[in-house]
Amino acid sequence: MAELITADLVDLDVPGTDRAEVTAGLARRLVAAGRVTDLDGFLADIRKREEQMPTGIEGGIGIPHARSAFVTEPTLAFGRSAAGVDFGASDGPARLIFLIAAPEGGGEEHMTILAQLARRLVHQSFRQSLLDAPDADAVVQLVREEVLGR
């Protein structure tokens, strides 16, 4: 099984402030890495999930996510936005965006990743470390240590 997150799945300077545009940009990284087989189909699954409930959480965080038939393995992409992106959180736009992609049958893994990530993101120190990370490798290392316990 491939790593959950790798440097090529990290964008430290997400362009734009539109939720759909930013999510599509991160999703294109998943396609390029061979982890999503159909960009439009995957984005449709993400939109369906967003329609149920906003995926923004307090602390400047967006966590768009979906289980999808177009995902080949559980994957986490990360984007950092200087301008912020509205994911519907009550405290305003997200500067830290995690795109969680899980295979359609991988509900357990999807929920485990989401829960582990949410537990770490309540800590200001973890959020600040992500904001301060100098490069994609530093983000990958932080996520591996803080979220995956490696």
Domain count of the fold of the chain: 1
Percentages of the chain per state (helix, strand, coil), in multiples of 5: 45, 20, 35
User: Which residue in the block uniquely carries the two structure tokens 């960009």?
Assistant: 39
Question: Of 94, 93, 86, 108, whose CA–CA distance to 18 is shortest?
Answer: 86
Residue 28 is predicted with a pLDDT of 98
CATH number for the domain including 113?
3.40.930.10
* Burial of 34 (C-beta count, 10 Å sphere; 0-12/13-18/19+): exposed
Q: Comparing 137 with 117, which gets the higher pLDDT?
A: 137
Q: Mean pLDDT, the chain, as a whole number?
A: 92
Task: Convert the pLDDT of each residue in 92-106 to its tens digit.
Answer: 999 999 999 989 886
Q: Average pLDDT in the 129-140 region?
A: 97
Q: Which domain holds residue 67?
A: 7-148
Residues identified as active-site: 65
Going by pLDDT thresholds of 50, 70 and 90, the confidence category of residue 112 is confident
pTM > 0.85: yes or no: yes
In a domain, 2, yes or no: no
Whether 1 is in a domain gets the answer no
